[in-house]
A and B are shown apart, each in its own frame.
Chain A
């Protein structure tokens, strides 16, 4: 299978005077439509890695190649466009815009790219909202729904542009175990249906085991990389 995301020799060093290296020469490839977990203790560099994969942060050394494009050569606007089209983010905190309703939040990435919402996309948004079971509250302001609902809304938002890659950083970190299960089930369903590549970051082994491939990061290096089965 093709690799949708490639990391080559990624180093990340923070600070100017006191230098702290967080990532050491990380090489990683992610196959299309795969469901990956990245696990590591807090401070292991997993969130930094995710930010670099999502082009939100730049590596000190190394290349990030997304769908064949080397992101190092892109300017900020091109990077923003690439992010908009190919990457869907799900963060630990939902980051919905409190001024907008659930439906409007879900449509936001699409509107950033196209401005106007066509009928087809509206249908897709409604379908996604239905999928994450928020149909009843879709016109509520995003602050007027529960934490679990907000996280599910954020998932629907990450999917609206049908991105190739979905980056999820502790997507269930703020949720109880029952809701966590629901959300993971949902992520797997989406993976099956839309064939998006999932990269889920977590510190929870039980959660990590839900992935097909588990990559463990220790002190900025890949310590283990296990594939449960080849799809």
Chain B
């Protein structure tokens, strides 16, 4: 066993680096492409649903509002799967300016919680987040359309018909025009007062740890809710995106399978050549009495060593390529086109598969070597 190991290492030392190269390139391509697609997926998901509610709890019937229940909220805060929980009191209203009215949605939030979802600190382009009563912030597009300035007084008409005056303190940009044109964001108390809905909320927005399990988490949450509340999750709202992501994953797997196949063929052929190259040595070892099992082990060990070295080198190269790609292939504003993303499990699995594959593909030459008759070698000199 130990001898087979040593002979395998010696054979490898004296052989060319081409096998390692094949494995290295194969694994690096696999990790590069895989990570790239993963990164793309993560960034796509992050860009589309990263700054929005992933599971929203709303009223089941047409009532729109439900009781601001501390018990329920505390339960949600403690839920391990939820990374953000934010209650809102939303109501549609009209913004009146120079005799023109604009339909808007007034959203009352507690910013401490809401920032975990919307990250207003970063999305704020001007002014400050509303802090005291009757202060609001508007989206960039609406502010530009109406030519408003920080500090302006705005008039809101509520569905009940009352007229409320609020002060513009900030401008946000959530990068979605529809939102930027309609959301008037304020504190929860402001919303309560304007719409006269003290102690009521319209929705609880949350974000989850694993976005792809949002539907499962939603189902679980719903079981703990009273019958007049239901959940809505991003997956049911974004079927198109979801099917796109699934297709992307499938194509990524397909690419990886073909890369793996190429690597496998490469290793098998190089090791098969190695048996031919080393047949004289194997023959003489057999004449000296090495057993078939040990002769086969020589090639299995070669496959194993090639697999380990090649896949680790390949992993390093693949990760390096990824770093280079994410640092040098950038958007005009300098942010990377596909952000660097590394899934350690994926890298580990890739390495493991390459090692197993190269060991398995060494089976063919191993069997070949065990069938080699020493007399062939000695006769043919």
Beyond contacts A54-B287, A97-B284: 6 other A-B pairs, Cβ-Cβ < 8 A, are A97-B10, A99-B10, A99-B14, A100-B10, A109-B288, A112-B3
A80 touches B291 (CB 8 A): yes
B288 touches A89 (CB 8 A): yes
Q: Interface 1/0s, chain B 369-381, versus A by CB < 8 A? A: 0000011001001
Asked if A228 is at the interface (CB within 8 A of a chain B CB), the reply is: no
Asked if B241 is at the interface (CB within 8 A of a chain A CB), the reply is: no
Q: Interface 1/0s, chain A 139-157, versus B by CB < 8 A? A: 0000000000000000001
Q: Which of B1-47 contact A (CB under 8 A)?
A: 1-3, 7, 10-11, 13-14
Which size class do A's interface residues fall under?
20 to 34
Chain A residues within 8 Å of B284, by CB: 95, 97
A78's closest neighbor in chain B, by CB?
B291
A81, B294: Cα distance in complex, Å? 12
Partner of B378, one of A56, A83, A84: A56
B287 touches A76 (CB 8 A): no
Most buried by A among B2, B287, B288: B288
A185, B346: Cα distance in complex, Å? 66
Asked if A93 is at the interface (CB within 8 A of a chain B CB), the reply is: yes
Residues of B within 8 A of A (CB): 1-3, 7, 10-11, 13-14, 280-281, 284-294, 374-375, 378, 381
B378 touches A51 (CB 8 A): yes
A84, B7: Cα distance in complex, Å? 17
Asked if A111 is at the interface (CB within 8 A of a chain B CB), the reply is: yes
A56 touches B375 (CB 8 A): yes
Asked if A116 is at the interface (CB within 8 A of a chain B CB), the reply is: yes
Partner of B289, one of A51, A81, A97, A115: A81
Asked if A10 is at the interface (CB within 8 A of a chain B CB), the reply is: no
A84 touches B289 (CB 8 A): yes
Chain B residues within 8 Å of A93, by CB: 381
A38: min CB distance to chain B, Å:
16
Interface SS of chain B: helix
B289 touches A95 (CB 8 A): no
Chain A residues within 8 Å of B289, by CB: 80-85, 109, 112-113
Chain B residues within 8 Å of A76, by CB: 292
A95 touches B10 (CB 8 A): no
- 18 A-B pairs within 8 Å (CB atoms) are namely A56-B374, A76-B292, A77-B293, A80-B291, A80-B292, A81-B291, A84-B289, A89-B288, A91-B378, A97-B285, A99-B10, A99-B11, A99-B281, A108-B288, A112-B285, A112-B288, A112-B290, A157-B288
A95, B380: Cα distance in complex, Å? 12
A113, B280: Cα distance in complex, Å? 20
Asked if A225 is at the interface (CB within 8 A of a chain B CB), the reply is: no
A89, B283: Cα distance in complex, Å? 13
Chain A residues within 8 Å of B280, by CB: 95
Chain A residues within 8 Å of B291, by CB: 77, 80-81
B290's closest neighbor in chain A, by CB?
A112
A69, B31: Cα distance in complex, Å? 58
A61, B378: Cα distance in complex, Å? 22
B2 touches A116 (CB 8 A): yes
Chain A residues within 8 Å of B281, by CB: 97-99
Partner of B285, one of A57, A81, A108: A108
Q: Interface 1/0s, chain A 196-218, versus B by CB < 8 A? A: 00000000000000000000000
Chain A residues within 8 Å of B290, by CB: 80, 84, 112
Q: Which of A100-137 contact B (CB under 8 A)?
A: 100, 108-109, 111-113, 115-116
Given A57-B375, A76-B292, A99-B281, are A89 and B10 neighbors across the interface (CB < 8 Å)? no
A13: min CB distance to chain B, Å:
15
A77, B10: Cα distance in complex, Å? 24
B286 touches A80 (CB 8 A): yes
A157's closest neighbor in chain B, by CB?
B288
B294's closest neighbor in chain A, by CB?
A112
B7: min CB distance to chain A, Å:
8
Partner of A51, one of B2, B10, B375: B375
A57, B10: Cα distance in complex, Å? 29
Chain B residues within 8 Å of A84, by CB: 288-290
